[in-house]
Structure 1
Amino acid sequence: MSEPVLELRGIEKVYLRGEAGEVRVLDGAECRLTPGEMVALVAPSGAGKSTLLHIAGLLDTADAGTVAIGGTDYTTASDRRRTVARRRDVGFVYQFHHLLPEFSALENVVLPQLANGVPRAEARTRAEELLDRVGILPRATHRPAALSGGEQQRVAFCRALANAPRLLLADEPTGNLDPATSETVFDALTRLVRETGLAALIATHNLDLAARMDRVLVLREGRLVPQ
């Protein structure tokens, strides 16, 4: 069996919310993702999907439990080690693309690589390859405002994969798109995951898209339950 790309064990997270007191969002959540696997994360709004993704991606810390990426336990790692791991091993995609408006599609994919020390020529070549894989290389010189919603989100996928991470975390990546565009974007995402062999955990309300992934995990009462 392949070593898990992501392993969450016994994840707990509690928030203090005014008069409501303690709200236990995660209560022993556990999962394992292996290379090349697409896993859907399904739950009602407010159930803790985003919190779980932030903990898995080392953007937040759990109150209890362990988080391992690529076999390395980052539960008690320093902020610096977590930052390095995020930059090297994790790609994020959100419902809204968050592209830098003053830069072209190509530049938006190049910049994360430059920040990671990749030479400009090499970064440009990889950016062009990724944009070509999702079918928008002809739009590479356009700024985000000149791109459609589906094109913007495909650029966001490419940016998330620019530094060849092990793990992709996506929070409602098609939630802001119409059904036809969602299909196009999801197909592009699937192609990228299959071709690169990374592991992807994708939060979605779209049950049709969820059913097309390898597995579906439902976040219920703070735990992850296979569907």
Structure 2
Amino acid sequence: MNDPVLRLNGITKAYNKGAVNEVTVLRGIDLDVATGEVVALVAPSGAGKSTLLHIAGLLDTPDAGTVAIGGDDMTGQTDRRRTRVRRADVGFIYQFHHLLPEFTATENIVLPQLADGVARNAAETRANELLAQVGIAGRADHRPAALSGGEQQRVAFCRALANQPRLLLADEPTGNLDPTTSDQVFGALMDLVRSTGLSAVIATHNLELAARMDRQIRLDNGRLVPI
């Protein structure tokens, strides 16, 4: 049996440790995400879902527990090693697109590839293929200010997948959009995820969107429970 793409075991995390106002946000989290599986993480604001995603994506470290990406235990690894794995194997999407305003849609997707050592021609080809997949090939030369909110977020999706990660982590990826645009953009994201066969954990408040994923879990008082 293959290792899960993501394995969290016994993850705990508290803030203001040792202080009278210490807050424990994660209490012994266990989670396996299989190859090609898309998991919905449902939780209200402040429940710790962003903390959980940051730990899963090696942007933060737990107080206890282990994080493995593709069977590779990242516990105690150097910052350089964690950065290398994160850059190669993990894609991030946030509620706000965080595109670089001075660059075009294509350039925003090319840049992370160049940082990973991809040749410019190959990076541009990859960027334009991804833009076509999410239906905005005609907007490739536009800067973010000339794109709608939905178009900006589609570019952000493409940027997250530019280096062909094995794991996608998304924090309320359509939470800043109106309901109609959110539904359309989420559909584009799911098409992109399914076509690439990658694994994903997608945090959302929207139970209708959550129902379109393979599995739904809820973060409740620092613990994961199935829905």
Q: Quick one: distance in 2 between partners of 1:40 and 1:24?
A: 22
Worse-matched range after superposition: 14-23 or 43-52: 14-23
Q: Quick one: distance in 1 between partners of 2:212 and 2:191?
A: 13
Q: Describe the superposition over 1:106-162 as per-residue Cα deviations: whole angstroms up to 9, x where unpaired.
A: 000000000000000000110011000000011000000000000000000000000
Structure 1 residue 194: Cα displacement: 0.6
**1:100 and 2:100 correspond:** yes
Equivalent position SS for 1:155: helix
- The answer for the alignment partner of 2:178 in structure 1 is 178
Q: Describe the superposition over 1:159-214 as per-residue Cα deviations: whole angstroms up to 9, x where unpaired.
A: 00000000000000010000110111111110111111110100101111011110
- The answer for the alignment partner of 1:46 in structure 2 is 46
Q: Over the residues paired in the alignment, what is the CA RMSD in angstroms?
A: 1.2
Q: Quick one: distance in 2 between partners of 1:112 and 1:31?
A: 28
Equivalent position SS for 1:3: coil
Structure 1 residue 11: Cα displacement: 0.2
Number of residue pairs aligned between Structure 1 and Structure 2: 227
**1:206 and 2:210 correspond:** no
- The answer for the alignment partner of 1:89 in structure 2 is 89
Structure 1 residue 17: Cα displacement: 7.7
- The answer for the alignment partner of 2:55 in structure 1 is 55
Report the TM-score when normalising by structure 1: 0.98
Equivalent position SS for 2:225: strand
Equivalent position SS for 1:164: coil
- 1:57-72 alignment to 2 at 5 Å? 57-72=57-72
**Which amino acid counterpart does residue 138 of structure 1 have in structure 2?**
G
Change (3 A) 1:2 1:184: farther
**Which amino acid counterpart does residue 66 of structure 1 have in structure 2?**
T
Q: Quick one: distance in 2 between partners of 1:17 and 1:99?
A: 34
Structure 1 residue 35: Cα displacement: 1.5
- The answer for the alignment partner of 1:169 in structure 2 is 169
Equivalent position SS for 1:11: strand
Q: Quick one: distance in 1 between partners of 2:193 and 2:2?
A: 16
In structure 1, the gaps of 5 or more residues are: none
Q: Quick one: distance in 2 between partners of 1:31 and 1:188?
A: 26
**Which amino acid counterpart does residue 9 of structure 1 have in structure 2?**
N
Equivalent position SS for 1:124: helix
Structure 1 residue 19: Cα displacement: 7.0
- The answer for the alignment partner of 1:28 in structure 2 is 28
Structure 1 residue 18: Cα displacement: 9.9
Structure 1 residue 20: Cα displacement: 4.9
Structure 1 residue 61: Cα displacement: 0.1
**1:152 and 2:158 correspond:** no
- The answer for the alignment partner of 1:190 in structure 2 is 190
Q: Quick one: distance in 1 between partners of 2:154 and 2:46?
A: 26
Q: Quick one: distance in 2 between partners of 1:20 and 1:92?
A: 34
Q: Percent identity?
A: 73
Structure 1 residue 3: Cα displacement: 2.4
- The answer for the alignment partner of 2:130 in structure 1 is 130
Equivalent position SS for 2:45: coil
